[in-house]
Every structure is written in C-alpha cells, then in structure tokens.
A and B are shown apart, each in its own frame.
Chain A
C-alpha cells in the first residue's frame, strides 16, 4: 500500500509539470466518462419519450438518416 502510494507520488505528483499534465488528462477523461454516463442515465429516465426513440416508426427503411 505504502509502496503504491509513494510510487504514485513520485511518478505523478513530484514534478509539477507531470502533475499538471495528469490533471488536464484526467479532466479530459472525466469529461468523456461523465458525458457518456450521464447521457446514458438521462436516456434511461426518458426512455420512449425522445425523438430518437420513436423516429424509427416514421423513417422509411433504407432512407438516409439525416
């Protein structure tokens, strides 16, 4: 445990540049993960209510999906 933590400290935090890069990379990953997750939750709450859930009824098969 302590070994892992000191490893983390020495590789990611010790140098300010690396620490900053980690923060920004983490922010980027967080955004993607959060957006994916929250959109999935949103679509589950509103299942069947949104246009994308009902448009297959009105789209002719084989038409381009614009």
Chain B
C-alpha cells in the first residue's frame, strides 16, 4: 500500500515537473466551462437578483418610514424658533471665560435676574478668585441674612452671610415663587446653560428676541408675552433687558445685547465653573498623549521588527539516488 502510494506520488512528481502548469490550466478551463453550462437561462438569474434587490430596498424603506424617522410631536411653532448660533469666544477650544464679562454678568444677574430667579448652587466663595476679591464677596454675602443653628434656647436666629453660604433665593420655596408669578415658576439658573437645548445661543436669543409687538395672527394668552424662541411662543417672563438698565463699573456701554451676552457668559460659568481648568488640562493631556502614542507606535514597530524581517532559508536535500523510505517527503505521506 505504502509502496504503491509512493510510486504514484513519484510518478505525479515526475509528471508535475514537466507538465504541471499545462495540466492545471486545462483543468481550470474545464471548471469554468462547467459552471457556465449550469447557469444557462440567464434571464432567470437576472429576475431573481432584481427581485431580491427590490425586496431588500423596499423592506429597508418600509422599516425606515415606520420606525426610522424622528417623530415630531409638536409643530414648529410649539418647538420654538431655533436659536441663532453665535460665535462665542469662550466656547472655543483654547479660550477661558472672559472674567471681566463674568463680573459684568454677575452684576446683571444681581440687579435684574435675581428678583425672580434663584442661583441656588452657587456659594459666595466661588466668586472669589473668578470675578471678585475676598473683601467684595464678603461684603456682598454680609448683605444677606441666614439662619443660625439653634442657640441655647432652641431658637433660630439670623446672622449675616458668610463666604461659605449659598446665594439666597428670591422666594422661600417654589410655591411662593409660583404664587408671585401667576403660577409660572421662574427656573433656577445655576445649570440653565446645560439644561436648555441650544445653551448659550438659546438664552441669548430668548433675552434679546422679544419683538416690539406680537406678529399678526399670533395668539398670546393674557399674562404671557410673545417670544418666538420660547417653545410655544408664550412666555411668562416679560422683556427685562433694555439699553442702559445697569451701570457697568468698567465703563462698558450697557446695551441690551451686551448685557445679554455678559449674563449668558456668567450663566455658562455657573453651569460649568470648571471649564477653564478643564480646557487647560485637556490640551495638556492631548499633547502628552499624542507624544506617547507616537512613541508606542515606534516601539511596537521596534519590537516587531525582529519578527517582520525574519528570513527563513531552506536548502532541501537532494532526492536523487536515495531510497524512497529515506526520503523525508515521501515518508511523511
């Protein structure tokens, strides 16, 4: 058995030396002619292919129309006008807040917004070193009264504010706020830039977007004001910013848009007070990280170069004149 196999192999080997290429080519030709003979009626193939393509595209289309599209529960008017994108300087990758603008924005908040809107999450101490000196912030905090801890008799007294206290709210609670504002709750502004779609652009558009009078045909309920940027267009807050409303101590002209811009930047700070540090750390990490990445790519290539440039050389032993059983090639069969 073994001998016959080896013999056959030896014959094949001898054959291959001379006629291998030709044999394979003829075999290939044979195979291709066979397959074409099987698929003789081509129109059937075309029809099947076309039908399955149409079915696939059609089912995808059907699925997309059923489930893929965004569902609009509200009309465009109910969504509110989309806020204009403005080129905010502090939103650029490598820019901090303009801290002079933060200071002006806090002035606007304190003199205008704070009569209705709270800023519960901001303690006085965070103003120190971002837009105020210690003494200024302390003086502002002391203008407000806070509850003390119970004294010896268990009574709660009032004390002037400290830096560790939070900015006081204009109303005692949400119910009092609703009662004072026709049932509409002025939202807390601490995280407002993060909380509204459009962020800075939305708040700026809202503050500056009050038209002189509602456009013809717009229905405005009593007690509400028309603002195209507010979802539903009827907003309880009236226009508050008018030119010259506040006096900026640094002499910046207090136009409506300047005040809106400053207060928006301040509200962005109150929502993301860590932004300056975050951006600074961010690009440092990117710089170090890209150097590390380049180094690691080099080191990967360095470590693999041994494997990648390896050359194997094999000089097969001569087969002539050897008994078959001594031939390692044939013995392996």
Question: A and B: direct contact (Cβ < 8 Å)?
Answer: yes
Contact of A55 among B133, B283, B284 (CB under 8 A): B133
Distance of A42 Cα from B93 Cα, bound (Å): 11
Distance of A57 Cα from B99 Cα, bound (Å): 12
Of residues 100 to 157 in B, which have CB atoms within 8 Å of A's CB atoms?
Answer: 100, 103, 129-136
User: Is B99 in contact with A58, judged by CB distance below 8 angstroms?
Assistant: no
Does any Cβ of B come within 8 Å of A50's Cβ? yes
Interface size class of A (residues with CB under 8 A): 10 to 19
User: Is A51 in contact with B130, judged by CB distance below 8 angstroms?
Assistant: yes
Distance of A54 Cα from B131 Cα, bound (Å): 9
B-facing mask of A32-64, CB < 8 A → 1, else 0? 001000110010011001110111011100010
Q: Which residues of B contact A39 (CB under 8 A)?
A: 280
User: Is A58 in contact with B288, judged by CB distance below 8 angstroms?
Assistant: no
Does any Cβ of A come within 8 Å of B79's Cβ? no
Knowing A42-B280, A50-B276 are in contact, say whether A58-B95 is a contact too (CB < 8 A).
no
Interface size class of B (residues with CB under 8 A): 20 to 34
Knowing A51-B130, A59-B133, A63-B135 are in contact, say whether A46-B96 is a contact too (CB < 8 A).
yes
Knowing A45-B95, A57-B250 are in contact, say whether A51-B131 is a contact too (CB < 8 A).
yes
Does any Cβ of A come within 8 Å of B165's Cβ? no
Distance of A34 Cα from B283 Cα, bound (Å): 12
Knowing A54-B100, A57-B250 are in contact, say whether A46-B284 is a contact too (CB < 8 A).
no
User: Is B95 in contact with A49, judged by CB distance below 8 angstroms?
Assistant: yes
Distance of A63 Cα from B136 Cα, bound (Å): 13
Knowing A58-B132, A58-B133 are in contact, say whether A34-B288 is a contact too (CB < 8 A).
yes
Distance of A63 Cα from B95 Cα, bound (Å): 30
Contacts between chains A and B (CB distance < 8 A), count: 41
On A, residues with C-beta under 8 Å from B are 34, 38-39, 42, 45-46, 49-51, 53-55, 57-59, 63, 66
Does any Cβ of A come within 8 Å of B230's Cβ? no
Distance of A54 Cα from B132 Cα, bound (Å): 10
User: Is A51 in contact with B95, judged by CB distance below 8 angstroms?
Assistant: no
Q: How far is the CB of B92 from chain A (nearest CB, A)?
A: 9
Q: Which residues of A contact B136 (CB under 8 A)?
A: 58
Pairs A-B, 4 closest by C-beta atoms: A51-B99, A46-B96, A49-B98, A49-B96
Tell which of B99, B130, B276 has the most Cβ of chain A within 10 Å.
B99
Q: How far is the CB of B118 from chain A (nearest CB, A)?
A: 25
Distance of A38 Cα from B100 Cα, bound (Å): 23
Distance of A34 Cα from B132 Cα, bound (Å): 30
Since A34-B288, A49-B96, A66-B134 are in contact, a sample of 4 more A-B pairs with Cβ atoms closer than 8 Å, ordered by chain A residue number, is A49-B95, A49-B97, A51-B99, A53-B99
Distance of A65 Cα from B141 Cα, bound (Å): 20
Q: How far is the CB of A11 from chain B (nearest CB, A)?
A: 23
Of residues 232 to 260 in B, which have CB atoms within 8 Å of A's CB atoms?
Answer: 250
User: Is A49 in contact with B284, judged by CB distance below 8 angstroms?
Assistant: no
Does any Cβ of A come within 8 Å of B287's Cβ? yes
User: Is A50 in contact with B284, judged by CB distance below 8 angstroms?
Assistant: no
Q: How far is the CB of A65 from chain B (nearest CB, A)?
A: 9
Q: Which residues of A contact B98 (CB under 8 A)?
A: 49
User: Is B288 in contact with A45, judged by CB distance below 8 angstroms?
Assistant: no
Distance of A51 Cα from B130 Cα, bound (Å): 6
